[in-house]
Amino acid sequence: MEKPLTGNFRADGEAVSLSEYERSGGYQGLRKALLLTPAEVTELVKKSNLRGRGGAGFATGMKWSFVPMGKDAPHPKYLVANADEMEPGTFKDRALMERDPHQLIEGMIVAAYAIEADIGYIFLRGEYERSYECLARALAEAQASNYLGHNILGSGYRFEIHLHNSAGRYICGEETALLNALEGKRAHPRTKPPFPQVSGLWGKPTIVQNVETLCNVHHIVRQGVDWFRGLSKTADGGTKLYGVSGKVKRPGLWELPMGTPMREILEDHAGGMRDGLRFRGVLPGGASTDFLVEDHLDTPMDYDSVQKAGSRLGTGTMVVLDDQTCPVGMVWNLEHFFAQESCGWCTPCWSGLAWTEKILWAMEQGTGSTRDLETLKFQTKFLAPGNTFCAFAPGAVEPLQSALKYFAEDFRRHVDEHRCPWRR
């Protein structure tokens, strides 16, 4: 099985150097792209059915096609790699940046070329210190070898990349809050429309793209659309980095064909549950996705199938709940995180999550009431998409709303028994 994204990883866990990267075909995608027109590159990506790996799954080529092109287009245009990986349970971009940093850089240059961007930013999660070091070194190497800078490889194209490590906050992963943060403003999301493709960083056309998405781009150019679509088990092209955390035998990260069934990932790759524990549920794509349960284990892990099952593929990194862990406690843990990270911009989010977290904590302490249960249900509807300013709060209540559905009995017991039944 081909593993374009991780196939090059060194066994010792160190980052791939430029020479190693070049030996295995690195920067060939870029060389090939520079012989095409930007429109041709975008067209390839469109045909490849590459969808955004940050969680929303928006078609990448389509997104690029909204960028104003040609000589009347505003400049500078920007390409931003969203490397602010803060979704609880998610650690896929980190692996890509720490172990094969040139892959992101090459993907960025090709993507930038396609939209005629002038300046690139890598907006990196503040805590990812090792990623920072690896990327900084790789950027210097790429600059020295004329993959970046003026007249890249003699093509006349010019592009530079700045590495920015975030001051922190989950909301910076929201693409427009990210842009505000990059501009030095408070990181709250922006009004859409206008979309960043038209008016983004410093008011100029901007594409914000997840790290994993960008890492695919040059492979598509180099090896072709058919090859890329052939990697996948579904209509969405390519492979996908799937991760598993929780009480499984072998938590980890694997590059597998897009659409690999959940059961295969959990059982074949993660080795199934630890001895003595039973599977109860899983957050398929990080903390802000709905729980799926035993009945859903045969769902192919692709955007449409997971959505059909009632959740979202999200980042594709699963968090597993076992039968010895309190689901209310787990949800409290998640909602505590989300309540902490609400940017405070819109009322439903800052008020609803703070209240939700307090109720869940009260339930864990044995002081939750039936009225609290109703409030929890109310909040899951109140924080629905469209009611809030951005997608943060609707995502934040996804694990809660599904837990209330699948683990209703557990919530009930917390209220009726005035204690957490898992606490001894």
**Which amino acid is it at 355?**
W
Task: 141-149: list long-range contacts, CB under 8 Å, 24+ apart.
Answer: 141/17, 141/18, 141/102, 142/18, 142/102, 142/105, 145/18, 147/27, 147/30, 147/105, 147/106, 147/109, 148/105, 148/109
Q: Stretches 48-56, 183-191, 255-263, 411-419: which one binds other proteins (CB under 8 A)?
A: 183-191
| Shortest Å distance, C-beta 192 to other proteins | 8
389 forms part of the interface with other proteins (CB under 8 A) = yes
290 forms part of the interface with other proteins (CB under 8 A) = no
Helices (H), 145-192: 175-182
- Cα separation, 301 vs 259, whole angstroms: 4
- Cα separation, 164 vs 168, whole angstroms: 11
Give the pair of three-digit tokens for residue 93: 């971009």
| Shortest Å distance, C-beta 152 to other proteins | 28
Q: How many other C-beta atoms can be found within 10 angstroms of the C-beta atom of residue 23? A: 11
> Smaller CB distance to other proteins: residue 58 or 378?
378
Q: Which of 135, 73, 148 is nearest to 109 (CA)?
A: 148
> Smaller CB distance to other proteins: residue 115 or 321?
115
Size of the site for other proteins (CB under 8 A): 37
- Cα separation, 205 vs 111, whole angstroms: 14
- Cα separation, 202 vs 204, whole angstroms: 6
**Which amino acid is it at 22?**
E
Q: Stretches 189-197, 235-243, 262-270, 301-309: which one binds other proteins (CB under 8 A)?
A: 189-197
Residues 365-384 touching other proteins, rule: CB under 8 A, are: 371, 375, 378, 382
| Shortest Å distance, C-beta 7 to other proteins | 40
> Smaller CB distance to other proteins: residue 91 or 350?
350
> Smaller CB distance to other proteins: residue 174 or 302?
174
The angle subtended at Cα 99 by Cα 96 and Cα 100, nearest 5°, is 70
Start-to-end CA span in the chain (Å): 47
> Smaller CB distance to other proteins: residue 7 or 344?
344
Q: Residue 238 carries which DSSP code?
A: S
Cα 171 from chain centre: 13
388 forms part of the interface with other proteins (CB under 8 A) = yes
Give the pair of three-digit tokens for residue 56: 């929303």
198 forms part of the interface with other proteins (CB under 8 A) = yes
| Shortest Å distance, C-beta 121 to other proteins | 16
Q: Stretches 57-65, 121-129, 197-205, 416-424: which one binds other proteins (CB under 8 A)?
A: 197-205
193 forms part of the interface with other proteins (CB under 8 A) = yes
66 forms part of the interface with other proteins (CB under 8 A) = no
> Smaller CB distance to other proteins: residue 125 or 204?
204
Return the residue of 49, 199, 216, 232 that touches other proteins, per CB under 8 A.
199
Site string for other proteins, 328-367 (x = CB under 8 A): -----------xxxxxxxxxx-xxxxxx--x---x-----
- Cα separation, 362 vs 211, whole angstroms: 39
173 forms part of the interface with other proteins (CB under 8 A) = no
Cα 298 from chain centre: 23
Give the pair of three-digit tokens for residue 292: 């799926």
**Buried b / exposed e across 385-407, counting CB within 10 Å, b at 16+?**
eeebbbebbbbbbbbbbbbbebb
387 forms part of the interface with other proteins (CB under 8 A) = yes
184 forms part of the interface with other proteins (CB under 8 A) = no
| Shortest Å distance, C-beta 112 to other proteins | 21
| Shortest Å distance, C-beta 173 to other proteins | 14
206 forms part of the interface with other proteins (CB under 8 A) = no
288 forms part of the interface with other proteins (CB under 8 A) = no
| Element spanning 254, H or E | strand 252-257
For other proteins, the binding residues (CB under 8 A) are 169, 179, 186, 190-191, 193-194, 198-199, 202-203, 339-348, 350-355, 358, 362, 371, 375, 378, 382, 386-389
